[in-house]
Amino acid sequence: MKKTVYDEKTNAKLEALKKQYKDKSLSREERAEALKEIARVTYAADPRPAVSVRKQAVTNALLFFLDALVFGFIAVTDRAFRDSSAGNTLSIVLFSVMLIFIVFFVIRTGRYKNEPDDELSRENKRKASLNAFLTLLIVVAVVGLVWFEILEKTFTLDSRNWLGFFCCLVFAYSGLSNAIFLYIDGKGETEEEE
């Protein structure tokens, strides 16, 4: 990875902040503040175009939802095509397309600098994370209730599909967390305008 070169003044400030961050005699809050200041200084000195926190959340939500769909589809097709090679071929093709898309996405986002989170966005992300967990928990409980009690279907979680379902849940949680952050952040902006 290419190391970013800053001017002498910025380098001196970053070295002082890094020393402060590594100083074990300081409190945890002072060291955390030094780390935040390092992020602000490197962000200000970075010549790449900036991406706002909201745009980061939009792209992350779309990427995570796409990944959740692919892993969920792989897990479901594994059960549907258990004795067929068509399911394995389809899973491999979908997973390969997803990996190519992620590599392209990572290369593309490397051209931009990410705006560091401020206090409000950090608080909104904490709220969104909790709400995403509770929402996903409720959705899984309702789907399980409908699947097992109302439709009276059975389901066996075995070694062939547990990883797909686990990854689907993790990516769904991450995408939902970003989507809820966008909702909370947008609601805060409309309240400020009024």
Q: What is the pLDDT of residues 167-183, one digit of tens each?
A: 899 999 999 999 999 99
Does residue 41 contact residue 10 with C-beta atoms inside 8 Å? yes
* Torsion, CA 136, CA 138, CA 139, CA 142, rounded to 10: 160
The amino acid at residue 110 is: G
Q: What is the pLDDT of residues 131-164, one digit of tens each?
A: 999 999 999 999 888 878 877 777 677 776 788 8
Domains of the chain by residue range:
8-45, 53-193
Does residue 66 contact residue 98 with C-beta atoms inside 8 Å? yes
Tokens of 73: 């589809």
Interaxial angle between packed helices 53-80 and 162-193, expressed in degrees from 0 to 180 and rounded to the nearest 10: 150
